Amino acid sequence: MNEDSAPEPRPAPGDPQTAGEADHSVTTATPPRCPTRTRLYRDGEVVAEGFPAEEISDRLASDSDAFIWLDLHHPDESDLGIVVQEFGLHPLAVEDALQDEQRPKLDRYRTHLFANMYAVGFDAVTATLTTSEISAFVTPRALITVRKNEFDVDALQARWDENSDLASAGVGFLVHGLLDAVVDGQYDVTETLDDCLDALEDQVFEPRQGSDLDIRRRAFELRRAVLQLRRIVAPMREVVERILRNAGEHHLAHDFMLPYYEDVHDHVLRAAETTDNARDRIASILESEQNIQGQQLNEVTKKLAAWAAIIAVPTAVTGYYGQNVPYPGFEQHWGWILSTAVIVVLSVGLWMLLRRRNWL
């Protein structure tokens, strides 16, 4: 098959009508050059892993009850050629898997599903959100993941191993583990953001030790992270809901796995709600900060007006009567130096006092 032409969709390997064609596909397909990971499951157990991707067709054709996981790290079009030929992947899904920054979604094609999602991390000190884009092709007998960034695959495999009793559910078990790992990571980030907002709210009403700009800067940094996270978390609700709505059609969330997918759905909803609430809380923090600054400005204005009124009384009286009391050194050169020094000292002292109180 010419790799430049759009591949014709075909049933998954191991189906009776394609079993005889498996060997030909393997011999003509180019093995992926990108880093790969493979696993073969049978009867709920891992029977092989780390085998070359070009052996997938033979292994599935030799055992109709087996299913596989293939992971490709940052592949190009030629690296995806073998899975395109073996599983009849739709060219639009392949294009989405190769392009960066696709939105989280779940697309249904005749022979497979295509999902796109993001694993996330968060640095609470710098308020920086990191993302790792993951695409997945889901066929009746295979889960093919395409990682475009770094992602902790070892943790994903450990999650599958910890829930090996669910492996009898087939590919639905693998898809659930992937979704659960991604959604749990998103939920953990929303909880961390929530804690950061709690600390920021407490800081708003604490006595100010530094500039008010620190609170506003922190609020804007957290708002940027929340908006980025919301663009990732909000569409995940639709991804999980589509799996639940069409549970009987694609056999991922059948009766055995349905409660586990519903648990993932619950985490998605909670993460989305926390993200929406975080955006409202940041707006409230900024509004409260602005109100507090307005109150502080009123206090400063009131104090300055009071001092001006006190000083205005003797100034008005002495000015009205034209009083001019001789001071030490009157009409002497050293007296002029002394009076100038007094003016400078009092002015600097007043400036330091106002500065200490954050009036300047």
SS (H, E, C) the chain: CCCCCCCCCCCCCCCHHHHCCHHHHHHHCCCCCCCEEEEEEECCEEEEECCCHHHHHHHHHHCCCCEEEEEEECCCCCCCHHHHHHHCCCHHHHHHHHCCCCCCEEEECCCCEEEEEEEEEEECCCCEEEEEEEEEEEECCEEEEEECCCCCHHHHHHHHHHCHHHHHHCHHHHHHHHHHHHHHHHHHHHHHHHHHHHHHHHHHCCCCCCCCHHHHHHHHHHHHHHHHHHHHHHHHHHHHHHHHHCHHHHCCCCCCCHHHHHHHHHHHHHHHHHHHHHHHHHHHHHHHHHHHHHHHHHHHHHHHHHHHHHHHHHHHHHHHHCCCCCCCCCCCHHHHHHHHHHHHHHHHHHHHHHHHCCCC
Highest-confidence range of 54-63, 230-239, 295-304, by mean pLDDT? 230-239
Report, as an integer, the average pLDDT of 235-241.
92
Which of 306 and 135 is assigned the larger pLDDT? 135
d(CA 276, CA 246) in angstroms, rounded, equals: 27
Report, as an integer, the average pLDDT of 236-242.
91
For residue 248, what pLDDT is reported? 59
pLDDT band, very low/low/confident/very high, at 216 (cuts 50, 70, 90) = confident
Report, as an integer, the average pLDDT of 70-75.
92
Q: Is the pLDDT of residue 288 over 80?
A: yes
For residue 231, what pLDDT is reported? 93
For residue 333, what pLDDT is reported? 81
For residue 11, what pLDDT is reported? 44
Task: Report which of 87, 184, 85, 185 is spatially closest to residue 136, judged by C-alpha positions.
Answer: 87
Report, as an integer, the average pLDDT of 235-255.
79
d(CA 270, CA 183) in angstroms, rounded, equals: 10
Which of 238 and 355 is assigned the larger pLDDT? 238
d(CA 172, CA 250) in angstroms, rounded, equals: 9
- 43 in Cβ contact with 16 (< 8 Å): no
Strand-by-strand arrangement of the 36-42 sheet: 45-49, 36-42, 67-73, 142-147, 128-139, 113-123, 105-108
Give the CA-trace dihedral at 43, 46, 51, 55, to 10 degrees: 10
Instruction: Give the chain's end-to-end CA distance (angstroms, integer).
Output: 75
For residue 47, what pLDDT is reported? 92
Report, as an integer, the average pLDDT of 87-102.
89
For residue 150, what pLDDT is reported? 84
For residue 269, what pLDDT is reported? 94
d(CA 155, CA 332) in angstroms, rounded, equals: 86
Position of tokens 């708002």?
A: 223
- 81 in Cβ contact with 73 (< 8 Å): no
| Numbered ranges of CATH 3.30.460.20 in the chain | 16-291
Which of 167 and 331 is assigned the larger pLDDT? 167
44: left (phi over 0), alpha (psi -120 to 50) or beta: left
For residue 244, what pLDDT is reported? 85
Percent of residues, the chain, with pLDDT higher than 70: 86
List pLDDT tens digits, range 127-151: 999 999 999 999 989 999 999 888 8
Mean pLDDT for all residues in the chain: 83
Q: Is the pLDDT of residue 3 over 90?
A: no
For residue 191, what pLDDT is reported? 94
Q: Is the pLDDT of residue 187 over 70?
A: yes
Neighbours of 329 (CB within 10 A): 13
The CATH number of 16-291, from 3.30.460.20, 3.20.20.450, 3.40.50.620, 3.40.50.880, is 3.30.460.20
Q: Is the pLDDT of residue 6 over 60?
A: no
Backbone angles phi, psi at 358, to 5 degrees: 60, 30
Which of 245 and 26 is assigned the larger pLDDT? 245
pLDDT band, very low/low/confident/very high, at 10 (cuts 50, 70, 90) = very low
